[in-house]
Amino acid sequence: MVRIRTQREIDIIATSCQIVADTLDMLTEHVIPGARIIDLDERAEAFIRNQGARPAFKGYMGFPATLCVSVDDEVVHGVPNDRVLEEGQIVGIDCGAEKDGYYGDHARTFAIGKVSDDKQKLMDATRESLMRGIAAAKPGNYVSDIGYAIQSYVEKFGYSVVRELVGHGIGSELHEEPQVPNYGQPKQGYKLREGMCIAIEPMINLGVKEVKTDSDGWTIRTADGEASAHFEHTIAITAKGPEILSKGEALRG
């Protein structure tokens, strides 16, 4: 069932989204060469709890941490450990928070120091594909219009779209219906309506679209070992169009 949210509910979802956006803003200066991933995770957890919220991923299906931290060929769901970030890596950080029963979900990919042109362009295209997907999320459009906007943009550069993992409805649960794929043909699936809240999250690979799961049962990585980027926003669909709820400082201007 796809839930339609009241303005009051959207306001609470927006609060949780602001907490995750603030968390990633707070982390930015620490996501540098030499940083230990587990330290980033502890910093994020303390920051979220200090605001009366709860890290949404910790304990979700047994996930052990606050952040998913995915390095280079890791697509998503990397488990924080004592690995140290190195110059030239790109690192996806995905964060969720729950406050007063409602969820926010947001991810960015960070460059660690100077990265290769290939990686920088992949990150830039993935971020832009998210914005194009969001622009397609207006009342009267269909769920697949979002994926079509994302896929048709990134494939122009020769990149590929991960199929196994998708965006999702969000609100009183972290993952709700509908599923929001990052690929597809226009005008298919559920019709978008005012009051829907969804997380749009393109996972875009430099090489092939295929992925595999590590033996830890969590980490998803590209089948060919090439880099992958991931950006995610939680949005509300309003009468005026899509409204990004997880805006960080850069988007708030």
Contact criterion met (CB below 8 Å) for 217 and 230: no
Q: Which is nearer to Mg ion, 106 or 209 (CB)?
A: 106
Q: Which is nearer to Mg ion, 15 or 234 (CB)?
A: 234
Shortest distance in whole angstroms from residue 144 CB to Mg ion: 18
Contact criterion met (CB below 8 Å) for 15 and 51: no
DSSP string, 172-235: SSSSEEEEE-S---SS-SSBP-TT-EEEE--EEESS-S-EEE-TTSS-EEETT---EEE-BEEE
Residues that bind Mg ion (CB under 5 A): 94, 105, 107, 199, 232
Instruction: Mention every residue, 6+ apart, whose C-beta is less than 8 A from residue 155.
Output: 161
Shortest distance in whole angstroms from residue 234 CB to Mg ion: 8
Shortest distance in whole angstroms from residue 122 CB to Mg ion: 19
For the chain, helix (H) and strand (E) counts, in that order, are: 5, 15
Residue type, 214: D
Shortest distance in whole angstroms from residue 249 CB to Mg ion: 19
Shortest distance in whole angstroms from residue 214 CB to Mg ion: 18
Cα Rg of the chain, angstroms: 17
Tokens at 68, concatenated: 């998913």
Cα 75 to Cα 94: distance, rounded to the nearest angstrom: 11
Tokens at 85, concatenated: 């970030």
Q: Which is nearer to Mg ion, 9 or 176 (CB)?
A: 176
Q: Which is nearer to Mg ion, 69 or 107 (CB)?
A: 107
Shortest distance in whole angstroms from residue 87 CB to Mg ion: 26
Q: Which is nearer to Mg ion, 41 or 94 (CB)?
A: 94
Q: Which is nearer to Mg ion, 175 or 224 (CB)?
A: 175
Q: Which residue has the tokens 């397609």?
A: 136
Closest CA to 222 of 71, 75, 68: 75
Q: Which is nearer to Mg ion, 94 or 98 (CB)?
A: 94
Residue type, 67: L
Shortest distance in whole angstroms from residue 242 CB to Mg ion: 16
